Amino acid sequence: MISAIKGMNDLFGEKAFRWGKMEEDIKKMMAAADFGEFRTPILEEIALFKRGVGETTDVVKKEMYDFLDKKGRHVAMRPEGTASVVRAFVEHGIGINYPTPFKAFYIAPFFRYERPQKGRFRQFHQFGVEIFGDETPQMDAEMIFTASRVLEHFGIDYEIHLNSIGCKKCRAAYREKLIEYFSARKDELCEDCRTRLELNPLRLLDCKACDPKARYADVPKMTDYLCDDCRNHFEELQKALHAFGVPFVLDPFIVRGLDYYTKTAFEIVAKTGGSQNAVAGGGRYDNLVSDIGGSDTPATGFAMGLERLFDLIPEDFYKEAPLSAGYALCDEAVLQLVEFTKKMSKENVRFLADYKPKKLKKALQKAEKTNASFVFVIGEDEAANGKILMKNMATREQTLFDKNDISGIISAISEK
RNA sequence: GUGGGUGUAGUUCAAUGGUAGAGCACCGGAUUGUGGAUCCGGGCGUUGUGGGUUCGAGCCCCACCUCCCACCCCA
C-alpha cells in the first residue's frame, strides 16, 4: 500500500471546510488592510535560502528539503516565505515600479525536513505579510497589529513578546558583550551553547538546556546596547502599539532563528495548548533586500503557522450550511431529479442528489447518514403529477411542492 | 539528527510461542412510500516491510519504515 509521505497530511471533509473558511477570513482581513496576495514558486535555487535565511541557521543547515533536479541544479522546497518574496520583489523591480509602502501577503505551503510532532509537519502552511519600503516604527506596529487582529478574529488567547535586536552596528557591540560575559562562565554552559558562543552567541539566549538567562539575572540585554537610532525606533514602536491598542510584553531575550532580522523582533505565543505554542513570529529586516541584490529597502513582516492557528480555533467556529438531499424513488423520477438538481444549483443551495432509485425508507436512511436537513423526494406519484415532496428532517414535517415552485422551496429551506 | 512509545479487518482494540477474534462503522434483510431504536444475516485480513531463532512466530531477536510524544529548532 502506498501512503502519504512522512510529515505530509491529507485534508478533507469537515476539516477541509473549516480550513477553507479560515483562509477565506484571513484573505478578507488582508483585503481590508490593502495587502495584495503574493504567490511565489514552491521550488527555489537553494542559494536563495542560504543567502537570505543564513548559512548558520538550523533551517538551512539541517531542515532543508533539497535535491538535484534532472539538470543537476540544486533546488530546495521553500522553508519559509520571506526570502522568496524578497527575491521576487527584487527580480521584478517592484521597489521602483510600485509606490511604497508595498504590502503583500501569502497563504502557502512550506517544507522543512524535520521530525514531525504535534503542531509540526514536513509540509506545513503559513500565512504571512511583508511590507517593503517603509522604515517607520509605526509600520512595524501595523504589521504586529495585523497579526494580532487575525488572532482576535478567531478568539484566540495570545501573548505578544516584543524585543529589538538592533542594527548591524549596535548588534555587533552587543555580541561582543555577550561573548565576553559568557566566555567567563564557559564551563557552566552546555555543549551546544559553547558552540553557539563561537558561531552565533545571540542564539545562546534561546537555550533551554542550560538556560543561561534564567540562571544569571545580570545577562546583558540587547535593549541596553541599542544605538540612538534603534532605541528611538523601539520606543516609538511601543507608543504606536499602544495607539493601535495592541497588548505586548517586553522580552529582551527574543532572538529569531532566521538571520535577517534587524531592530524589531517579536513572537506570539498561544496561552493555551502544549509545547509548540509559538503561533506567529516576525520582525524587521532592513538589510535583506540589499543582501539579495536589490537596492537598500527597509522591510518588515511576520509569518503565522496555520496548522497551529487551526488547532486553536474552536471546532464550532464555523458551521456548514444546512444540506438538502434529493432522491428518486423510481426510474421515471430520475430525469426529474436531474432537472431539479439543475434548478437548485442555480440557487446556490447546498444540495446533494442521489440518482440511483431507491425505496423511500432507504432514501431517508441515507439522508440521515449524510446529515441532510431537508430531503426532496420524487416517487411515482410526484413524477406523474409534477410534484416534489420536501421533508424537514428535524421536525418531520412534509410539504408537497409543485416541482417548478422553486421560490417556495427556497423560502421553505431558508426559514430555519 | 537524538530519545521514548507504537504498528493486527474501514476504525477502535483482543488473541499464556501452537489453525486470528469482538465492538463500532459499512452492506443486505425484517412484505406494499416514511429516518435515528431493536433484531437477523454478511469479514481469510500478505497481523507495517524484510530477514532471523523455532517443529511451529501476531507474539522472541535484528534491520528498515509509519504514526504519536518529547528534545533540537521553529510557524
Which stretch of DSSP H or E encloses residue A105?
strand A102-111
Tell which of A279, A294, A316 closes a domain.
A316
The whole-number mean pLDDT for each consecutive block of 10 residues of chain A, a chain of 416 residues, reads 84 88 97 97 96 90 91 95 97 94 97 92 96 97 98 94 91 86 78 73 71 70 92 97 96 83 94 79 95 95 95 88 92 93 94 89 89 92 94 91 95 81
Give which of A3, A23, A20, A24 is closest to A11, Cα–Cα.
Answer: A20
Q: Is the CB of A186 within 7 Å of strand B?
A: no
3-class DSSP state for residue A325? Answer: strand
ipTM of the complex: 0.86
A101 upstream amide cis, omega within 30 of 0:
yes
Q: Round and report the angstrom distance from CA (A256) to C1' (B22).
A: 53
Instruction: Give the model's pLDDT for residue A236.
Output: 97
**Pick from A298, A316, A334: which residue ends a domain?**
A316
Residues A283, A268 contacting (CB under 8 angstroms): no
Q: According to the model, what pLDDT value does residue A214 have?
A: 63
pLDDT at residue A208, as a whole number: 64
Which secondary-structure segment (H or E) carries A305? strand A299-305
Q: Are residues A264 and A396 in the same domain?
A: no
Residue carrying the nine cell digits 504567490? A39
A188 lies in some domain: no
Strand B contacted by A193 CB (< 7 A): no
Residues 20-49 of A with CB under 7 A from strand B: none
**Phi (first) and psi of residue A368, to 5 degrees:** -60, -45
Residues A263 and A407 in one domain: no
Alpha-carbon gap, residue A358 to A366, rounded angstroms: 10
Domain boundary among A271, A292, A316: A316
Report the nucleotide nearest the CA of residue A6, measured to C1'.
B66
Residue A363's SS3 state is helix
Residues A329 and A276 in one domain: no
Range of the structural domain that residue A247 is part of = 13-167+227-316
Strand nucleotide closest to residue A377 (CA to C1'): B33
Q: Which nucleotide does the CA of A258 lie closest to, via C1'?
A: B74
A32 and A144 part of one domain:
yes
Amino acid A193: pLDDT = 73
Q: A387 and A242 share a domain?
A: no
